[in-house]
Chains A and B, each alone.
Chain A
Amino acid sequence: MSHYAYFVAGWLIVIGALGIVRSRNLVQAIVCLAVAQSGTYVLLLSVGYQWGAAPPLFSEPATKPTLHVVDPLVQAMTLTDIVVSATVTSMLLAIAIQIHKRTGSIDPDELDALRG
């Protein structure tokens, strides 16, 4: 079962990259980028996950931390990763909107201002 999560993570990254390669629509390509990034969330979370473990919450200083908690570090990293994703995706979508305004097209096959 735990291998399943790694498989999902790898699948999301590869299918996201493949989606950008095959995309005929810039918005779709940007969403594919976000899909590839979702793979990294799944990977990070599954690296730190333990079956049957408690969430990493230690409310009272007196309680001894139990050994069976999931890894808080990867959760913090995933949160940071999501913030980064929001920044980059919004930036790229803004550029895509501007491209549509200037050229009337968001098909990468029709955008040929940059060749050679």
Chain B
Amino acid sequence: MVTFDHGAAALVPLAVAGPIVVACILLVAGRSVPRLAVDVTAIAAALAEAGLLAYLLSSAAGGRLVTWVAGWTPHHGYSVGIVLVVDPLGAGIALLAACLTAIALLFSTRYFESIEAHYHALILLFLSGMVGLSLTADLFNMFVFFELMGAAAYGLTAVQIEDESALQGGLNFGIVNSLGAYISLTGLGFLFARTGSVGLPQLQTGLAHHRPDALVIAAFVLVLTGFLVKGALVPFHFWLADAHAVAPAPVCVLFSGVMVPLGIYAAFRIYWAVFAPVLPLGDVRRTFLVLGALTAVVGSIMSLTQRHFKRMLAYSTIAHAGLFVVALACLSVAGTAGALLYVAGHAGVKGALFLIAGVMLSRYGSVDELALYGAGRGQKAMGWLLVAGALALAGLPPFGTALGKAVAEDAGSAAGYGWVPVLFVAVSALTAGAILRVAARVYWGLGPKPVEWSQARSSGNVGEPETRLQRLPVTMVIAIGTLLVGALVMGLLPGLHSVANRAAASFTDSAGYANQALHNVHELVAAPVTPNWTGLGLGLGFLSAGCACLVAVAGLYGSRLVKFLPGLRAFRSPIDLLHRLHSGHVGDYVAFMMVGIAALAAFVGLPLR
């Protein structure tokens, strides 16, 4: 019998259950109290959750917190109980989710004129699912939290039921994600058949010392499918643009900021905690590098060629999710640390950009870049915020995104992939250049007045906004400002890189994870102490920001450029084809998902024959 010390670890289940309890109270009492009370309660609950998670993070900093729910502790390394393992990386992502939830709720106070307490309850349930997914070490539990998160997210996407496209987006999102979850569950069935357990540490010991046979590879591919759908990797990504384009702006903050990274987090958590000792490293690394790079390229091309601003941001999230995967796919401490920093910085910046899109929708009733040409000339302040957000997304030092990119680029080169920094700079420049182009058109009226209307693509005239705002409420400004300042401060915190290194070292330590969960053995792995910024990282950051400005100028004056270089027209038909593939048809999305599963299985399995 192993004894597990309590203290902070006893509070871990509370972090999952707390938001659910508050959500239930809001659902029951929400009708009989004023809207302000509902808003304040929900924000207070999110802040309290953030406080609790910060405490757990600081307690887990020296190792991991292990909780066997209801005291089902393991005997000789075996238990049928559910185990929660809090390591710094998991707690950090959960903390990010709680902070973003508080900001999204703050923004919502004035964004929705008439919304009932069920919106707040759904947001808190969503938070609970995200926290649960980051803290659990049980595969079936992951599936349940995935679906809790999913059901809340489908509801939040379609919360404005008067909007036809919001309903379609919510439905596509729901069907594709749930099917992905069931495919993951099938993989879990395979793993249970082999090992008789579903806890990640038990699965690791159960699978060790065997050759990776067909069952293990099938289980790996199937289990990962659901999480890769959530993480929006090509070709599992189609639902994301639909859902993000139509969901309310504050909900998009949570979707892009944490939900999508959480899918990737879960995929790599499962890899490190279960499959790392079994599957050959080079095989997995190659698979994820290809997947990530493909996602980054498709996402940035689609983002650059959008005129619907929220859809543009959605594809930009896909592109950056591809970069997260490329960083994690180095399968090293440095790459994981880079991805962690990048996810945190990206969450702040992309959140701010989505909120600015929400402000545009509230003020002008549209997010269509072409229709809004020059519409924002009177509101230059918001324009400057948009420019700041775009440059931060490009990785202008000292924003946190730049720090994450620099660390990840360095890790890519160190792993022997010289193309990684090139990909990072190109994707950053393309996605940020598209946003700078929007800012220049809408807030400064630069470039020729647009006349071309392509029917093959979504315009931004979706749905009527909740309210037409005449003045900008202070809560919205605070929410946008907090996110941008947060991303800026992140890059300036001294020693943050070393903290991320320690979190990544603990995350990638497969044996230590299983030993501590099953045998209560604490072993701290050493992590390198590195300075935040290097000259090369700073230089690449400034280069990306500069290239983004060039991309924006080329986008504004592109029609004139084509007159001089008619060869550019050749690119039009492949890009149109790419757009036609994103058909908005749920059947097509599922078909691509099946193709993706087959491709993934071939990639992982064939080299092992």
Which of B143, B144, B164, B246 has the largest count of A CB atoms less than 10 A from its CB? B164
Q: Is there a chain B Cβ closer than 8 Å to A111's Cβ?
A: yes
* CB pair A33 B178 closer than 8 Å: yes
Please give, as numbers and ranges, the residues of chain A lying within 8 Å of B24 by CB-CB distance. Answer: none
Complex: how many Å from CA A103 to CA B161? 12
Q: Is there a chain B Cβ closer than 8 Å to A70's Cβ?
A: no
* CB pair A95 B170 closer than 8 Å: yes
10 contacts between A and B (CB under 8 A): A21-B594, A33-B178, A37-B182, A48-B192, A80-B144, A95-B171, A98-B158, A99-B167, A102-B167, A111-B168
Complex: how many Å from CA A114 to CA B170? 11
Partner of B583, one of A29, A47, A88, A115: A115
Complex: how many Å from CA A113 to CA B158? 14
Q: Which parts of A26-77 form the interface with B (CB within 8 Å)?
A: 26, 29-30, 33, 36-37, 39-40, 43-44, 47-48, 71, 73-74, 77
* CB pair A113 B171 closer than 8 Å: no
| Of B3-11, B183-191, B548-556, B562-570, the one with at least 4 CB within 8 A of chain A | B183-191
Q: Is there a chain A Cβ closer than 8 Å to B580's Cβ?
A: yes
Chain A proximity of B479: nearest CB distance (Å): 27
Q: Residues 98-116 of chain A: 1 if any B CB is under 8 Å from the residue's CB, otherwise 0?
A: 1100110000110111111
A44-B189, A80-B144, A87-B147 known; A95-B167 Cβ under 8 A: yes
Interface size class of A (residues with CB under 8 A): 35 or more
Partner of A96, one of B144, B155, B171, B179: B171
Complex: how many Å from CA A16 to CA B584? 20
Chain B proximity of A38: nearest CB distance (Å): 9
* CB pair B189 A22 closer than 8 Å: no
Which of A26, A33, A96, A103 has the largest count of B CB atoms less than 10 A from its CB? A33
Q: Is there a chain B Cβ closer than 8 Å to A1's Cβ?
A: no
At the interface, is chain A mostly helix, strand, loop or mixed? helix
Complex: how many Å from CA A80 to CA B82? 14
**In the complex, what residue of chain B is closest to A14 when comparing beta carbons?**
B594
| Of B99-107, B280-288, B323-331, B585-593, the one with at least 4 CB within 8 A of chain A | B585-593
Chain B proximity of A24: nearest CB distance (Å): 9
* CB pair B245 A84 closer than 8 Å: no
Please give, as numbers and ranges, the residues of chain A lying within 8 Å of B198 by CB-CB distance. Answer: 73, 77
What 4 new A-B contacts, CB under 8 Å, besides A20-B179, A47-B192, A102-B164? A39-B186, A99-B168, A114-B169, A116-B306
* CB pair A114 B458 closer than 8 Å: yes
* Total interface residues in chain B, CB < 8 Å: 55
Complex: how many Å from CA A21 to CA B583? 13
* CB pair B590 A17 closer than 8 Å: yes
B residues whose Cβ falls under 8 Å from a Cβ of A: 80, 140, 143-144, 147, 150-151, 154-155, 158, 161-162, 164-165, 167-172, 174-175, 178-179, 182-183, 185-186, 189, 192-193, 196, 198, 241-242, 245-246, 306, 456-458, 462, 579-580, 582-588, 590-591, 593-594
* CB pair A112 B584 closer than 8 Å: yes
Please give, as numbers and ranges, the residues of chain B lying within 8 Å of A116 by CB-CB distance. Answer: 306, 456-458, 579-580, 582
A residues whose Cβ falls under 8 Å from a Cβ of B: 9, 13, 16-17, 20-23, 26, 29-30, 33, 36-37, 39-40, 43-44, 47-48, 71, 73-74, 77, 80-81, 84, 87-88, 91-92, 95-96, 98-99, 102-103, 108-109, 111-116
**In the complex, what residue of chain B is closest to A100 when comparing beta carbons?**
B167
Chain A proximity of B172: nearest CB distance (Å): 7
Complex: how many Å from CA A22 to CA B590? 10
Please give, as numbers and ranges, the residues of chain B lying within 8 Å of A102 by CB-CB distance. Answer: 162, 164, 167
Please give, as numbers and ranges, the residues of chain A lying within 8 Å of B585 by CB-CB distance. Answer: 108-109
**In the complex, what residue of chain B is closest to A102 when comparing beta carbons?**
B164
Complex: how many Å from CA A80 to CA B196? 18
Complex: how many Å from CA A80 to CA B198? 14
Complex: how many Å from CA A40 to CA B587? 21
**In the complex, what residue of chain A is closest to B592 when comparing beta carbons?**
A21
A88-B147, A88-B174, A99-B168 known; A114-B158 Cβ under 8 A: no
Please give, as numbers and ranges, the residues of chain B lying within 8 Å of A9 by CB-CB distance. Answer: 186, 189
Complex: how many Å from CA A29 to CA B246? 21
Please give, as numbers and ranges, the residues of chain A lying within 8 Å of B80 by CB-CB distance. Answer: 73
**In the complex, what residue of chain A is closest to B597 when comparing beta carbons?**
A17
* CB pair A98 B179 closer than 8 Å: no
The 8 A-B pairs of least Cβ separation, nearest first, read A114-B584, A116-B457, A113-B165, A116-B579, A43-B189, A21-B587, A47-B193, A102-B164
Complex: how many Å from CA A40 to CA B568? 50
